[in-house]
Structure 1
Amino acid sequence: MASTSNGTADTLAQLNSARDLALKDASYYLQIVPAVLALVGPPAGLDIRRWGAEFLAEAFASPSLAAERKQELSLTVLDLLKEYLDTPGEDVVVVKSVVQAAASIYPLVFRHIIYNPTNTATWQKMTAIKSSILRRMDSAPPGVRICCIKFVQRVVQTQTPGLIADPRRPEHNEISLALVPRDHPIIPPSNLEAETSGLLDRLLGILQEDISDPLLITATLNSLGSLTRSRASIATKIISTVLNFNPFRLVKPPVTTKMKVVVRSIERTTRALLQNFAKKNQNHALVGRIGQHIEHLHHARVAMFDDNNRKRPAPVEPTDGLDQAKRQRLGAEVTDAPSQAQEVLPPPGSRTYAWLFNRNPQEASANFDVKAITPEIVANIVLPLLIYADKAKFDHAINATQARLLAHRRDLPARTALDAAVTATHKPPADEDEEEYEPDFPPAETTEQILNRLDNAPPDELPPERPPPEVALGPFKFPQPPPLTEAETIDCSKDVVNRVFGVMAELDETPASKAQRPGFNRLAASGYDRDAWVTVITRIATRGAAGLENGIVKAEGEGERSIARYKSFSISNTIRDALYLYVIEDFRRRIDVAISWLNEEWYNDRIMAKHAGDAGPPVKHYDKWVLKVLDGIVPYLDAKDKVLIRFLSEIPGIGVEVLDRVKKLARDPERVSLAVNAIHYLVLVRPPVRELCVDALEDLWRNYDDARGPTAKVLNKWRPHVLQEVPNGIGAQVKSE
């Protein structure tokens, strides 16, 4: 037994040396991790297994080791992690470290499977590890369950679509469901989305169910905070669940100090999660509810835990007239208790406001200078005192203060007839004893109130009533507003256009309805949706001022002089400029708007040309704007973009200038295939422009070496004789030299 212990100690010493070496230089992990896998397996001792599991968790969580190296190592440790989890009665410390390592490995294996769809065995191992961890989530010890929560958080984060920073460099993008192709054979996105939704509900269920373990709740809140920062698509669902979570429901009698500390910690974690989300998403729809919930948590904490600190101290003297030795006889009637009316008043010259409002006879409180307290502290103190004050005692203090004030006024000499009247008004009757004074009457009127009442009193003799004079009122009409100037009209028109496109921007964020739309027989702009607004705007731009661009509008009252208003400003051109900017801002999502708009322009040009009279040829807008839209989107197209093919196939007219814009893509070697495929598609589906497109392909074959291979396949069918000629490109020049 002693030799076994010595062997284990020596092995641990060697392993710790290797661990220290890896901590100093992360590149040694590539050599140490494969070497220790055979030493720390399940047949090894408990101490060695603990060391191995902790070392693996530490290695894959190390920020010094590159993600590519971690991905290589992750494929080699899956068998060991699976053996640890499949071993019955495995140590809790070992299981905790294994789950932590699996949480770090899962995104790495997920990315490996995305780009290696034939490696089914690796994904089966990872799936078995995931199933084993999920089975332990509800029944394992608290430490293991906390690690399982972290694992679930990493799975949800990995299997939820994230942002793609650069589509051309997928290895630099964040690992998420957005990288998975829709037709992946091993991890189809539809199955992963369903599994992710279930795991997220399981994670949120910890806050919704009656679970009183503070460690699990705190771990869940911390995991949800990470998800709200990295996955905006599920942040609303998470925050809504947190808003319905009340940490004070964990308080159950008896309330101990430990319970107070636990609940305050959970409340602080909840508040921090909500505040951080509101700070980073200030325009979110739930920001208002978050502020209300944080305020509710604050008041609930104050009401539950700060009650003892906010109670008023016990009175120095009995408030009910009883002696302290007889406090148990509170129901006794006091016949000889001193009343407030029997109070000995100080001389009139020594009475102050402090004497008037002070209810404590002690000299220490009477001499306290309240100016030493700042107004902010007073504002924070007064409200809780008023909330917890006894109403009966508070009313008694008000009545006693009122009695002091009236007694003080009676003692003062009457200087004027008005002061005497005021004093006599509140003087008690002669047949009543002062000891039976009841100060329950309304507050006394001040001098100013009495003077106002006397001023408003009716005179002693009223003059005879006279009927009011009759006044004939004619009809009232508002004056006509002044006419708008040309500058004001232009500004108002621009404001209208901005408001219309503001509505379209809001409708872009609204999810489209899944209801089946009618076909060609539907009415245009029959609903309040994005398509209806596109139809209205494009037709206003194309048909609203049709025929007026070259016309002359005669100003009213100016005789023969006319003003060509549309030369300086045109509402149609303003809308066209706004449509162009609207499309270019996000042309991949709004290419349908550009197609609808250009179809309307083409149709309007044909109608105007058909009905043109002696005024001359009408202004053509289609050719101008289709080229402008192409110039706006072509610089941002990449080799795999299908937007160009859709745009060219759905616009009504294609000319030589349009094809010249497409041919310019061949200047970039990476986008040669895009230009050739777009023109080839037009050759196949648009016979009216087939000859123009074949001419464009022939020009590409002659002048661009990178385009010779793709264009040769098409020209071999349509113009095989061209392939026998010598091209004019750079390659041909080199060959001739």
Structure 2
Amino acid sequence: MGSSSQALQQLEAARHVALGDGNHYPQILPAVVPIIGASANASLEVQRWGADFLAETFASPTWAPEQKMQQSLKVLSTLKDYIESQDVGIIKSAIQASACIYPLVYRHIISDPNDKQSWQLMTAIKSNILRRMDAALPGVRICCVKFVQQVVLVQTPAASADPRRQDPNDVSLTHVTRDHPLMPYINLEAESSGLLDRLLGMLHSDNSDALLLTATLNALGLLIQRRPAIANKILSSVLSFNPVKSASPPMTAKNKVLLRSLERTTRVLLINVLKRNPEHPLSGRIQQYLERMHRMRLEAFDDSSRKRPAPVEPTDGLDAAKRQRLGATVPNIAPAPPSNTVAVPAPAEAPIPPLPPGPVSFRELYTLNPDASTANFDVQIFQDPNQLIRILIPVLASVDERKLTTATNAVRARFETVRQRAAQAAAQAAIAPAPLAVDDDDEYEPDFEPENAEQVANRIDSAPPDNLPEQPAPSGPIAPYKLPEAPPLTEQEVQKYGDDTIRRAFGMLSSLDETASKTKVQKGGFNRYAASSFDRESWVTIISRLATRTTCGLDDPDEGVKSEYGRMTKKGSFALSDRIRDGLYNYIMYDWKRRLDLAINWLNEEWYNDRLQSSSEVSSLPNGSNSSTSNSGTKGNYHRCCLRLLDGIITYIEGTDKVLIRFMSEIPEIDMEIMRRMKKMAEDPERIDLACMVLQYLCMFRPPVRGICVDVLEEMWRTNDRAKPSARKFLAIWRPQILESEAENKVKEETMNGNGNMEVRPVA
């Protein structure tokens, strides 16, 4: 006894160390297994501790699954000895540990088909547990249900058949190959299907324990969530399960508690299914099942705990069958029916209570039962109107016509009483004298203290003089009053208010949902309605058109100072369009990858506005003048805005961002200055391939700019040594004569250097 207690103390100390830090489990477990094994002649207390320790160890999430899988192979023999023990506590803990170990061994055998010994030990443990599932004690059977749940979970295909899209920690039948030597695919699938049928059969067996049924329902919930392939089969079996009928005939307090727990577990299981998937195909059946189970629960529990109702006594007098009391008023008794008819006793009806004095609400007007129990019923618990209709139609069909007529007459009489009360109250209010005017402010309390000399002097000074003549009332109509015009805004105020307006517009644009506009089909074209909806695209169209079209022809092109990107700004003035363009640029560059479509729309608006301005300038020229001299070489707002956006994007773009190809392919106009940005971007070794891909794409799908793209490729090939291999591949397709001339020059150079006549410098 002393040695076993000392060993338990040491083992408990090791357990506390492992609980403090899960990284110690791989070191502690190999040292503990030889001590707790049944083959080591350990005492019963040590074996119980060992079984609990193994169940706790492999259920702990604090150490890695790979280490668990390695250590699980070392405890299989110990678990096999524990399963064959006669102690119930050891068997229960061993089954729980086996439920945690089975997925680990399953994964190991998938990756190592040659470990036949480990799989044989696991198969022996599984067979022993399955034999105990039907005839063991209730506690052991509950542990067996947990083990069967894990077996069905790992031997059933996962939600996705593609192993690349699965959760790596979710072990399933999908990971098993069809030709596995130790675990045949067909056998595993058939075994899992049979074990699932055994679990579902527990719900419909006559001698099942309530605790065992609760454990089964909890096990089925995880299978429904993680294995959609068998979810409908499980739900169909659960919907045919009646937790109330599984009650034993004597409804003791213990049985009531068990049945309430079983009913609540079933309800929570189905409600969680609806929460995870409201559009489930069986949602209608689940709703009907929950309603039916709610009614059955009320019938099973509420009626059993209710006391015997009080006997119904007549309310309009004494009962004629009883002895009459002296001095009491005897009601008129209806004549007896003829002798050839059978008298049917009429059901006793509850008296209709009178209306309460004072004002009456609609609820009190239509409440006819004395206890007013139906008035406390809240119909808002029915979220679905169809559900309420399904309940009301049978209820209205079962209403007695005589009772309905009596209730209708009672409500009509009550309504007449309410009308009479209202008429009497109105007549009394007309006869009563009008009340004195009372100040509206109920909280005002005048100060009745006597005034001092200073207060009297102030009141006299503020009073008007007594000798003022009375002013006659105006005879003519009063002229309408007009507010004075506001003073003109200064240039600084205009700039400040304009900046605030633009800032609010872009703040509202940032708050809109950027994904809502993608689901709507918008009408394309330049003549579309910009404000047809209040989504992000409509607001961007409005803002871009404000920047491009509102100031056409208002600015003097001769006045201004040239700034960065060729922008002309007035001295000391507020250029509204340029402010909006700056806001658009900042908004796009804040998240340029997701807002690249807005940048393309903006540039299209700028290009269209430049075309409108150029056409209007040409039409306004006098006859015989040259349009090229009037433009003086200006390229408009599109060119500078495109260069500004392109410079901002190239600053942050990486070599793997293919969105630049889309941007360059969808902008409306490309010139040499824009394409030289690709040459500048190719100076970065990591972005050479991206620049060449952009140029190749434009050569293939935008033939009008093919010459410009090939010229830029030729410049890259001549000036950038790192970009030479990539540019050479495309030049061989679009301009092979450059490479041929370069090869001829190189041959001449080598020939002349070999003869020793002269040296030719290679062509750059």
TM-score interval, normalised by the smaller of the two chains = 0.3 to 0.5
**TM-score scaled by length of structure 2:** 0.45
Larger of the two Rg values belongs to structure: 2
**TM-score scaled by length of structure 1:** 0.46
